[in-house]
A = this chain, B = another copy of it.
Amino acid sequence: MKYLRFPVAAIAAIVSLVAFSAPAPGHADGAPAPFVTEIPNGYRNWQWVSSAHEAGNLNSLGAVLGNDIAIKAYREQKLPFPDGSIIAALHYRYVPSDENNKVFGKVQSFVPGAPTNIQFMVKDSTKFAATGGWGFGHFQDGKPADANFMKPCFPCHQKAKDTDLVFTRYAP
């Protein structure tokens, strides 16, 4: 699963600076990147949408959080998500908790280990019109992935077109 992000409330203030800033990844020609290149402010304070364990090679345990606009849309079951929605997926290694397992007396408790990556989906039907209105973002150690890495996000998320390209369901 892949998600995107956006400089939320600061967009207006930032717009005038964009022309003067160094090109973000994917800006080979100076045009805006077709994906998300900056981590949105305050995402760690957003509300919880759901958790997920991805087994196999991903070996990931994480949470999906949403900003206020996304959470409202989730709760009202409104599709498509309105512009301004941002969904964040925080991923960690899936590891046993030695502390908890001592208490249980067996290996049964698995918790987030080292952070692996953070992904975002940012809804902006104008800016990201070419990718279903969503900008996708992937960050490792705070740095955005490059254009090549981001290419499969949109085609894969199109498989969730019945839910506006969003895989994660809201946990009640």
Interface residues of A (CB under 8 A from B): 1, 44-48, 50-56, 58, 61-63, 65, 90, 92, 94, 97, 99-100, 102-104, 106-112, 115, 156, 159-160, 167-169, 171-172
- Chain B: CB-nearest residue to A53: B110
Contact B169 A50 (CB under 8 A): no
Known A53-B53, A61-B53, A110-B53; contact A100-B167, beta-carbon cutoff 8 A: yes
A15–B50 CA distance with the chains assembled, in angstroms: 35
Known A92-B171, A115-B172, A171-B63; contact A54-B99, beta-carbon cutoff 8 A: no
CB neighbours of A44 from chain B (8 A): 47
Most B C-beta atoms less than 10 A away, residue of A47, A53, A100, A115: A53
- Chain B: CB-nearest residue to A102: B159
Contact B111 A55 (CB under 8 A): no
A62–B63 CA distance with the chains assembled, in angstroms: 9
CB neighbours of A106 from chain B (8 A): 56
What is the minimal beta-carbon distance from A95 to any residue of chain B, in angstroms? Answer: 10
CB neighbours of A156 from chain B (8 A): 103
